[in-house]
Amino acid sequence: MLYPPITPYASGMLPLDGLHQMYWEQCGRQDGQPVLYLHGGPGDGCAPMSRQLFDPWFYRAVLFDQRGSGRSVPRGELRDNTTQHLIADIERLREHLGIERWLVFGGSWGSTLALAYAQTHPQRVQGLVLRGIFLGRQSEIDWFMHGMRQFYPEEWQRFVAPIPVAERQDLLQAYYRRLTDPDPQVHLPACRAWGRYEGACVALRQNADAIERASSEYVALSLARLEAHYFVHRIFLPEAQLLQQIERIRHIPAVIVQGRYDVVCPPVTASELAQHWPEADFHLVEMAGHSLWEGGILQLLMEALESFKLRLC
C-alpha cells in the first residue's frame, strides 16, 4: 500500500531557541499540497518509512522530529519542552518553509498534538487525518501505566521489575525519578524497560522488530524520558481541553482511524472524540491494534490521504 522509498529533496536544522534545534525534511512534489506529519511518543521521531505514506506526485510532505526527539538536539532534553513549545515550533516551521495552510496527519501522541495545534491555529489547517487517539487525560495516563496489564500481564511484570514494590503505588513518579537521573547506569535501564513495555503492546500481534527498536538505547532514551515528562505534567493542558474546544475545529474536514483492539490508546477515547465531533469521519478497524503499520489501519489512512486529494484540489 505504501509508495516507494523516497529521499528528502530538502532538510535542515531549525534553531528554536538558545537550547533546541529541530530537524525537518521535505519530500515529494515541491509545489504540491502541503501535508505535515506528526510522529508519536512524545519522544519517538520520524521513521523513513513514514515518507512513503504520501503520494510524491501530489503531496509536499513535511516531516520533523519534535524537540528532544530523533535527530533534533539535544536529544531527550526536558527543559523548555511542553505542548505549547511544540505548537509554536510547528508554526515556526510553517513560516520557515513559506507554507500558508496544510493538511495535518498525526497518530497516537501525534493525534494529541494535531488536535492541540489545530485548536490553536485553525486558520492554518485544511484537514486532519488522525489515528490511535490519545487525549492526554488522567484516565488515559493511568491506563498506560497500569491498565495495559489487563492484556499484557507478563510485559507489565517486566515493566515494574526495576521498581521496588514499595514505590509502585506511584509508578509514574518512581520511573520519572530514574529516567531523569543523570547517571546512565540508572536512567538507561529504566528507559529500555519503558520502551520495551510500549513496543510490546502496540500491535495486535507482537512484533519483535518493534520491541527491539523501542527498547534500543537510541529510541528509548528520548521516548521514555519525554513520555514520562509529559505524563507527569498532564501533557501541559487542562483536563479534557481537547474535547471541550472541538467547536474551534468543527468546520475542519477530519478522518479518525482507530483499531478495535488498541491496547495503548483504547477505542473508547476515539469514540468519545467522534461523539463530540460527529462531522468527522470515524472508522473503527476490526482486527487491529495501535500500530500505524497494521494492514487495516494503514489501508484506511492511505484511503483518507487519497480522499483529501479531491477535497483539497
Please state the length of the chain.
313
What gap in Å lies between CA 243 and CA 128, rounded to an integer? 15
Question: Cβ distance 197 to 147 under 8 Å?
Answer: no
Q: Which of 50, 111, 290, 291 is catalytic?
A: 290
Kindly calculate the radius of gyration of the chain based on its CA atoms and give it in whole angstroms.
Answer: 18
262 in active site: yes
Q: Which of 108, 215, 222, 291 is catalytic?
A: 108
The single-letter DSSP state of residue 124 is G
Instruction: List the 21-28 sheet strands across, edge first.
Output: 10-15, 21-28, 59-64, 33-38, 102-107, 125-131, 254-259, 281-285
Give 130's strand partners: 106, 256
Nearest one of 237, 170, 219 to 178, comparing CA atoms: 170
- CB under 8 Å to 273, separation ≥6 — which residues? 133, 135, 242, 243, 246, 256, 280
The Cα–Cα gap between 166 and 249 comes to 45
Provide the 3-class DSSP secondary structure of residue 302: helix
Closest CA relative to residue 239, chosen from 111, 117, 138, 118: 138
290 among known catalytic residues: yes
Residue from 39, 89, 262, 283 carrying the catalytic annotation = 262
CA distance 279 to 259: 20
Helix and strand totals (H; E) in the chain: 11, 8
Active site residue 108: yes
Active site residues: 108, 262, 290
